[in-house]
Amino acid sequence: MKKFILSSLLLSATILFAVTVRAANLTVANDADERDVTDTRTDFVVIDTNNPADHDGYLDKFEYYATADKPFYFLIVDEFWNVKWVSDEIDPEYIDSSNEYEPDDSVYIEEGWNVGLYYPQAGVVPFDYDTGAERAYFTNAGWGMPEEDDSLTFQDLEQGRVYSYVAHYNDDDDEDGTPDDEDCYPDDADVTVLENSKACQLYKSGVEGKGILTAPGLQKEFNLNSQAPFHAGKKPKD
């Protein structure tokens, strides 16, 4: 009886975790709506912290509202304010309107990291002051072009701001080389399978057997740093 109860609890926890993973937020930052204020200082970095990344993944599209025909850059910073990525120069195509920017390659981001802006000239993306919003962090004017691995320091000024930009996660879970779990949802089965699980890999590799996708012993995820997912399942014949 105790063994049955323990197995039931483990299965319930597995299902709950799977639902949590699939309900993850698919954006970082806010939106590309029109707002009222634009920065006037030049050559500085600003980080909006209202909606940091809530899971590890890859960003492949950035939307923003532009109020001026001036260049700027997106950047990603970690929780210690170290610069992890800087975009190419972005020149807005539409003024007083929303725009899109898609980098050549999807950009890696981790839980807790934020997307920010660098303006070599004056501001481009508008914002609103909002006492209920999270603090916006900005460097002094004249900071200079940020580079990867730079450590940012900010003015000691707390202002709640909401900037008009948003970054979208890549829809393909295998952008980093790990298997995608979308194929683990057959039309005739009402199941939820953990991303990168052995059950998923066995199913996708063509292994037949009733209950593979729902077997509790196959729900554990592979280590994302290992090559095990690529070797699970049927082995090709020579």
* Residues 53-86 pLDDT 10s: 999 999 999 999 999 999 999 999 999 999 999 9
Residue 29 predicted with pLDDT over 70:
yes
Round to whole Å and give the CA distance between 142 and 44.
Answer: 6
| pLDDT computed for residue 175 by the predictor | 46
What does pTM read for this prediction?
Answer: 0.66
Round to whole Å and give the CA distance between 105 and 125.
Answer: 23
Quickly state the pLDDT bin for 24 (edges 50, 70, 90): low
83's enclosing H/E stretch is strand 83-86
Residue 170 predicted with pLDDT over 70:
yes
Please give the residue that has the higher pLDDT: either 1 or 199: 199
Please give the residue that has the higher pLDDT: either 147 or 185: 147
| pLDDT computed for residue 21 by the predictor | 42
**How long a stretch of residues is the chain?**
238
| pLDDT computed for residue 33 by the predictor | 97
Using DSSP, state whether 2 is helix, strand or coil. helix
Residue 30 predicted with pLDDT over 70:
yes
* Of 61-75, 170-184, 212-226, the least confident: 170-184
| pLDDT computed for residue 101 by the predictor | 97
Quickly state the pLDDT bin for 230 (edges 50, 70, 90): very low
Q: What is the 3-state secondary structure (H, E, C) of 48-70?
A: ECCCCCCCCEEEEEEEEEECCCC
* Of 138-147, 175-184, 192-201, the least confident: 175-184
* Of 71-75, 207-211, 229-233, the least confident: 229-233
Residue-wise pLDDT tens digits, 106-154: 999 999 999 999 999 999 999 999 999 999 999 999 999 999 999 999 9
Residue 198 predicted with pLDDT over 50:
yes
CA nearest neighbour of 68 among 126, 117, 116, 120: 126
Residue 9 predicted with pLDDT over 50:
no
* Domain residue ranges in the chain: 27-169, 173-231
Under 8 Å between Cβ of 60 and 104: no
User: Residues 156-165: what's their mean pLDDT?
Assistant: 95
* Of 102-106, 130-134, 210-214, the least confident: 210-214
Pairing of strands 44-48, 97-101: unpaired
Q: Is 142 left (phi over 0), alpha (psi -120 to 50) or beta?
A: left
| pLDDT computed for residue 151 by the predictor | 97
